Amino acid sequence: MSYPDLSLDAQPVSRMFPRLSAEEAWERYRLADDQVEFFRENGYLSNIKLLEEEQVQQLRDELATIADPEHPGNQLFYEFHTNESGDPDAVLFHSLGHWRLTPGFHDVLWNPRFVVAASQLLGNKAVRFWHDQLFCKPAHHGGVVAWHQDYSYWTRTGPIQHLTCWTGLDDATEANGCLQYIPGSHRWNLLNKTALAGDMEGLYAHLDPVQQRFFDNKVAIEMKAGYGTFHHPLLVHGSYANRSDRSRRAFVLNVFADGTRSNVNEQLLEGVPAIAEGEKMEGQFFPLLYTPPTRVG
């Protein structure tokens, strides 16, 4: 018996978030000019409230269900790793594609607080979905996410007009392995792609001495559950192990500006039909999430 695929619905399927027009959402949730300028200067913008407590709890409940490898909708994931590191003392649950399985993770794509901020940080452009991720580090033996640039994994799409939003389902602290950034590294060129789990410092050896000195100013992004942080696709970031007595669960939404195109003829995501090289990214798996009002300011 097949499991219902929510990617067939290119609009919210529940009342988890208010249904607002583009204008209403823009007026209610737009970022201040100084926030947008901070993002441009540093490559990230953090501590943006995206979810209420009851919405956080709904997503926690849904996560607990779909993290089961025997879940009947498991075949809808693009990737599913109960532990991407392979080390039982450094567990990193990582998946892509859960937006296809549950109403909450589906509808959070259209969260007006998220899409308005995303549009502004993309230069007031229309926002189209790329893919989602879950990163979960259990208490006491949670693994790392090594230093990396997101776009190093996304070169199959272009031009570079992408954006990442990381949102915590637990309070995130240095103790439990919160996200960390290298401010200003979004101005670097594309770096070598390294393994995501395992060697935290694998990227460091590929940097020149000037870039290495940037690591002296790394910033730990501590946030309450329900708050999000946005970052540029070239910003170097990662997160250290969780040895605390609290879990660190988070979901990630990756988007790009409408008009992004495929750079390859192969599948862009496992199980998703290929989009020919040069063709626009659109359709069932890359829905349009938000178009800003014609007059913005």
Domains of the chain (ranges plus CATH)? 21-282 (2.60.120.620)
pLDDT of 254 reads 98
| Surface-to-core class of residue 282, CB atoms within 10 Å of its CB (0-12 exposed, 13-18 middle, 19+ buried) | middle
Contacts of 65 (CB under 8 A, 6+ apart): 71, 102
- Name residues of the chain where pLDDT drops below 70: 1, 295-297
pLDDT of 58 reads 98
- Give the three-class secondary structure for 174: coil
Kindly report the backbone phi and psi dihedral angles of residue 166, in degrees, each rounded to the nearest multiple of 5, phi listed first. -105, 125
- Over the chain, what is the mean pLDDT? 96
- Cβ proximity of 140 and 24 under 8 Å: no
Q: Tell me the whole-structure pTM to 2 decimals.
A: 0.96
